[in-house]
Amino acid sequence: MGISSRHYTLQRRGGSGYTSADFELWMDRDMFDTMTITKAVGALCATLLVYLLGAWLASSIYFGGGHGYGEQAYIIPVEDAEGAPEEAVEEIDFAVVMASASAADGETLWRNCRACHVLEPGVHGTGPALHGVVGRPVQFYDNFSYSGALIAAAEVWTPEALNGFLENPRGYAPGTSMGYNGMRSIDDRANLIAYLATFE
C-alpha cells in the first residue's frame, strides 16, 4: 500500500474520524520535509562545487606552473664577491693636512678637551696641562707622570703622535687612562694640534 506506517498507525489510533484530506495533508508534510532536506544538501553540494571550480580556475589563470631550468632571456653579469679585489683605502698624508691646518678652527675644538685639561703651564686637571704639549717628551711633565701605556706608545708628543692618539686613544695606547673616545675627522685633529702648538 502507498500509505506510510506512521499514517496508518495514526488512522488506527484515531479511529475512523480522519478524512482523506487529513491523509493528504500528512503526505504533503512528509514531502515538504524531504524536499527541504534535499534542497539543503543540493545547495551545499553546489556551493562546494562552485568553490572547487573557482579555486581551479584561479590556479590555472594566476599560476603557469613551474618553468624548470629553462634558458633565461637576459642574464645580468654579477662579479664574484670573494674574487673581487678590495678597493684600496686612500691614505691621507697627515703632513699635508697639518700644513693647511687652522688654529682658529682648532680653538673651537678645544671644548672637547677643557673638561679634563687646562692651557696654563703647570696647572693640571684630571689630565696634564697642555701648554706646550706639541714637541714635549711624553714621559714626564711638571710633576705629572704619564701612564706606562702612553710612554710605550710614544717618546715625544709630535704632531703625528698627537694625531694618532687623538684619533683613537685606546687603540693608539692600549691601557691608557684617558676616557676620551677619539676625534674622527683628520682635519679637526690637525686644527686642534695647530691650536695647541700656539702655546709654547
Q: Mean of the pLDDT values across residues 33-58?
A: 84
| Domain around 159 | 94-196
* Burial of 186 per CB tally in 10 Å (0-12, 13-18, 19+): middle
180 in the same domain as 132: yes
Q: Does residue 31 lie in a domain region?
A: yes
Give the residue, 51 or 13, on which the prediction is more confident: 51
Q: Which of 78, 90, 111, 54 is nearest to 186 (CA)?
A: 90
Extract the C-alpha cell encoding 168.
Answer: 683613537
Which pLDDT belongs to residue 121?
A: 85
101 in the same domain as 184: yes
132 in the same domain as 48: no
d(CA 192, CA 180): 15
109 in the same domain as 34: no
pLDDT above 70 for 29: no
Domain endpoint, select from 62, 84, 105: 62
CATH number for position 113: 1.10.760.10
110 in the same domain as 155: yes
